[in-house]
Every structure is written in C-alpha cells, then in structure tokens.
Structure 1
C-alpha cells in the first residue's frame, strides 16, 4: 500500500499496489503493520457499508466526541464519492480546515480519517456504495455533526443535493456550537 499524508496532519490517502496477471489483479487493502509504521491506529471495531441510490446524496458531517472518537478508513466500492473531512482538533494548526478527495471504485483509493475529524461525502454516481472500517464502536450518546452547508466550514459540494437525512439537515452551524465543540474535542 502507498500512504500519502494530506495537508491535514494524520489524514492519509491510501492507494493500493495491484499485482496484475491475466485474471485481473490482487492488492492488499489493509495491513495492521503498515498502518502502525505510519503512526496510524489500525484498530477496527466495526466494518460498515452504506449504499446510496441516487447521485447527489449527501451524508455528513459526522463525528463522535472523545473518549469515543473514531478513526475511519473509507473507500467507494461501487460508484464514486467526493469525500470531505474537517479537522476538529482545537490544538491543531489546521483546526477547522478541510480536504476533499474523490474516491471511486475504479481508483480503489481509501481515505484514513483520524480521530476528532468530521466526515461526510456526496455521491457522484447513482448506485454508489461505500465501505468504512471504523476504529471505535458506535456510541449514540456521543455522536454529533456539523452542518455540511455551514459557510464557516467553506465546504464545496459538487452537485445539487438529491437525498439527505433529516438528522444531517439538522446539524448545527459552528457559530451555534463552536465553543462546546472546542471544549469537548480538546485532549487533556
């Protein structure tokens, strides 16, 4: 696997190294030792799949507060997404900055999302499926999110939104929850 750190410290693009022959190819998509060698947490508490019927579907911007903050390895296994993450670590020099990455079934690329980051994506094709390997168990009491339309986050979604949950539409903007977010995301 090829690990490329993004401009947000701790967030990595992970590309496969296919070994091709007449059948197609074989590639490693996860290796605990390689994750550890790059300083990443290789724990997988859950593996999740999200199927999205329509192009333009938006999911996000999700996170869990410490001590249940999640790492995620996200990959599009069918179709394509624009995946966006936002650094929510108050001590980070990149606090509230984001990156956007296109993950497709064809490019086989994954995004490693560190703890204390918000995560969301928009589907670029009908029938898109994503796979998540998550480093912490889902904890509904500490689940939260930010509005994916908050102008303070400056997120650019490429398509009109066709589908979105009521829950995701209801996430607050930074000006409403910023101080609480800072306090709850701070490390002791």
Structure 2
C-alpha cells in the first residue's frame, strides 16, 4: 500500500496494491498492521455505502461533538472527492484538497476529524464506501456550503452544470457563518 500526503498533509491518498489477472482482481481495502505502520486509524466504528447518480454532490459534511475521520473509496464509478480544513487554529484553515477516486484507480482518501467532506459523482452511477472512526450523530451533524467562494473548490462540473443537492446541502452556511473547530 502506498500512502501519500496531499497539499494539506493530514489528508492522505491511499493506493492499495492490486493483484489482477484475466479472472479479475484482489486488493486489501484495510489491513490493521499496514494502516498502523502508515499512521492511519485502525479502530473503525461504522461502515457506510451510498449509491448516487451522475451530478449528485453530497457534502460538505462534518460532525461537531463527535468528529469523524473517514476512509473513503469508490467501489463502482468515479467521483471527485474533497476535504476542507475547518480547524481555525490550522495554517490551512479554509483550504481544500481533492482527488478523483474510481473503481479503476482504486485509491482511497483518508479525511481526518476536523475536516468537512464531500464528493461529486462524475460517472453515470457511483457506489461510495467509507469507514468512520466514530458513529454518526444526528445532533452533531453539520453541512458547509459546497460553493463557498472563500473556499473556492474547483468542482469539475463540466457537462453536469448545476449539481443535485440534498436540501441541507443547498441551504448550508458559508464558512464565515459555519460552526467550525478551534
């Protein structure tokens, strides 16, 4: 497994070793020893799987009282995945990093607690899977506006135009008004 820090070094791109032949492929999406050696979490509390169609934008989501670290990957399709640093004491506060995750590159993204997370579906359909370090907590759930010009995420909307959003994401506050971490 290869682990590389992105422009915000706490966010890591994890590329597993893939063993393939004419029958298909095999890869480990999690190995406790390898993750521990790479400084990644090994204690997971929840696994999630969502399916979305092209043009769906989910996010930017985070939890305040029970912040979640997330290890995200795409089992089918292709997405543009984003993490935004919302820790006011961080030198990268308000900055974002993004990576394309797909069933072809099989890459995963580690999004640590203290970051808002979201993704845009680029393929006709995408199955998005992720492990969380804490359980989801409805009372702690927050959204940050996906189009905040202060953050300036360069979403690859291309032929998508306007993304499909959940109501909570369409009305999410801008960073200046959002609840963030110290």
TM-score where L is the length of structure 1: 0.90
Aligned to 1:104: 102
Please tell me whether the aligned partners of residues 58 and 161 of structure 1 are also in contact (alpha carbons under 8 angstroms).
Answer: no
RMSD between superposed Cα atoms in Å:
1.4
Question: Could you report, residue by residue, the CA deviation over 1:54-110 in whole angstroms, capped at 9, with x for unpaired residues?
Answer: x111110000114x1101011111110000110112222211111110001111111
Question: Could you report, residue by residue, the CA deviation over 1:97-144 in whole angstroms, capped at 9, with x for unpaired residues?
Answer: 111100011111110100110000100011111001111100111111
Q: Please say if 1:6 is aligned against 2:14.
A: no
Any idea what SS the aligned residue of 1:33 has? Answer: helix
- Find the partner of 1:156 among 154, 157, 163: 154
Question: 1:9: how far off?
Answer: 2.1
Aligned to 2:171: 170
Q: Which has the higher helix share?
A: 1
Please tell me whether the aligned partners of residues 80 and 102 of structure 1 are also in contact (alpha carbons under 8 angstroms).
Answer: yes
Please tell me whether the aligned partners of residues 83 and 122 of structure 1 are also in contact (alpha carbons under 8 angstroms).
Answer: yes
Aligned to 1:61: 60
Please tell me whether the aligned partners of residues 10 and 40 of structure 1 are also in contact (alpha carbons under 8 angstroms).
Answer: no
Aligned to 1:77: 75
Number of equivalenced pairs: 179
Aligned to 1:49: 49
Mark the CA change 1:167 to 1:36 in structure 2 (over 3 Å): closer, same or farther: same
Structure 2 CA distance for aligned equivalents of residues 174 and 17 of structure 1: 37
Task: Name the stretch that deviates more: 154-163 or 127-136.
Answer: 154-163
Structure 1: give runs of 5+ residues left out of the alignment. Answer: none
